[in-house]
Amino acid sequence: MGRGALGLIGCLGVLILILIIGGVWYVGVRNNLVALDEAVNQQWAQVQSQYQRRYDLIPNLVRTVQGAANFEKSTLEAVVNARARVGQVQIGGGPGGATALPNDPAAMQQFEQAQAGLSSALSRLLVVVERYPDLKSNQNFLELQSQLEGTENRISVERMRYNQTAQAYNTAIRKFPASIVAGNSFKPKAYFQVQTPAANEAPTVDFNFPTNTAPSTATH
């Protein structure tokens, strides 16, 4: 076998080795990006779960508070309407509904604004409730208080964890040379943004009513 043939075989061997190494690297990087993507999806599911829990608590909360004599109708309507807007955003999240929201920054912002609006309405309701000391003796109301407070705290924690996993994923798909593998297959994930100073804080849930406060005149 001549030197030319040996040289050709050597070049082919080196090329095959490079292709094997490159293939192993590509598969490893892609699998890592897939794992990071799934971590974001899993954490987003945790966020959704806590928001859904709050969403499901509100009808019972409204019914319980509604039973109080002369309770402000407009305050209850604000909560009900804010809850309805949250439901509309979840349904309108495009293919996959709320599950697809992290892939659409504009839809994610609408979702967050709707949730912040619900938080604000709940906060106003809880402030008004303080004028009705009799509610503090309602066992169902006290149980809802505990559940709502716990849910609001978990929402805050899960949002923070989601942003952390989304940041890890977004950083990975932008770094070279992993960005070559990411290409157009791995899109950046949207973050939860703080819309107002209080938007990323759980509403204060305080039912230690003053015993000498009389109910206010109803607003209809």
CATH architecture observed for domain 7-182: Up-down Bundle (1.20)
- State the DSSP code for 183: T
Peptide bond into 177 cis (omega under 30): yes
Contacts 24+ apart (CB under 8 A), 181-189: 181/26, 181/29, 181/30, 181/33, 182/33, 186/33, 186/37, 187/103, 189/40, 189/102, 189/103
d(CA 30, CA 36): 10
The Cβ of residue 133 has, within 10 Å, a number of other Cβ atoms equal to 17
- Are the C-beta atoms of 135 and 34 separated by less than 8 Å? no
* One-letter identity of residue 67: G
Taking CA atoms, 177 is separated from 20, 29, 70, 195, in Å, by: 17, 9, 65, 34
Biggest CA-to-CA distance, the chain: 106
Q: What is the pTM assigned to this prediction?
A: 0.76
Please, what sign has the CA dihedral across residues 86, 87, 90, 95? Answer: negative
Question: What is the full per-residue pLDDT of the chain (220 aa) written as tens digits?
Answer: 566 666 677 788 788 888 899 889 999 999 999 999 999 999 999 999 999 999 999 999 888 888 776 677 888 889 999 999 998 886 555 455 567 788 888 889 899 999 999 999 988 888 887 787 777 677 888 788 789 889 999 999 999 999 999 999 999 999 999 999 998 889 999 999 864 434 444 444 443 433 333 333 333 3
